[in-house]
Amino acid sequence: MILSIIAAAGKNDEIGKGNRLLCRLPADLKHFKEITQGHAVIMGRKTFESLPNGALPNRKNIVLSRNKELKINGADVYPALDPALIRLANEKEVFIIGGAQIYAQALPAAGKIYLTKIHAAFPEADAFFPRFDLREWREISRETFPADEKNPYPYSFIELIR
């Protein structure tokens, strides 16, 4: 199984504010859906709560929470990352979809990062992608797009492996 991280981050690694995304970037939502469709996605409890329509359709939703009482419609709740990964060991690719706490814990075990770099700064951000050593990673793909009428900022879809 390959453990992949998928995230959208601003110029300064910003990923969220007030338990919401930084901006609406429909092209990135489409990209996220295309890449994660049909796979298992692992997220923190706060990120789950930020989803506008609950569990993501056509994906096995896994939520991490230390709350043993927590039950979520459409998602399996795990008390830690490792038991979730053991349960998913037979999957081809598993996606860590955030937020900041879960990215930081999963990064050491990840083999691939799908990073949408949003070419703008978000000074009001309160959640950040963890620092990582770029020298450990190799960029295998990058596509850059300008802002347009639907997407307010230019952005790049980047894929890194190690």
Ligand X SMILES: NC(=O)c1ccc[n+]([C@@H]2O[C@H](COP(=O)([O-])OP(=O)(O)OC[C@H]3O[C@@H](n4cnc5c(N)ncnc54)[C@H](OP(=O)(O)O)[C@@H]3O)[C@@H](O)[C@H]2O)c1
The interface with ligand X within residues 18-47 (CB under 6 A) comprises: 19-21, 43-47
The interface with ligand X within residues 53-72 (CB under 6 A) comprises: 64-67
Give CA separation, 126 vs 6, 17, 18, 73, in Å.
Answer: 19, 5, 7, 28
Beta strands 40-44 and 60-64, pairing class: parallel
User: Between residues 108 and 135, which has the closer beta carbon with respect to ligand X?
Assistant: 108
User: Between residues 114 and 135, which has the closer beta carbon with respect to ligand X?
Assistant: 114
User: Between residues 21 and 160, which has the closer beta carbon with respect to ligand X?
Assistant: 21
Within 8 A by CB and 6+ apart from 21, the residues are: 8, 15, 50
Is residue 101 a contact point for ligand X (CB under 6 A)? yes
Least distance (Å) from ligand X to the CB of residue 78?
7
Least distance (Å) from ligand X to the CB of residue 90?
22
CB atoms near residue 70 (< 10 Å): 14
Q: Which of residues 3, 88, 100, 160 is near ligand X by CB under 6 A?
A: 100
Strand intervals (E) in the chain: 2-9, 14-16, 40-44, 60-64, 75-78, 93-96, 112-118, 127-128, 138-145, 155-161
Least distance (Å) from ligand X to the CB of residue 9?
6
- Give the interface size with ligand X as a residue count (CB under 6 A): 28
Binding site for ligand X (CB under 6 A): 7-8, 15-16, 19-21, 43-47, 50, 64-67, 79-81, 97-102, 105, 127
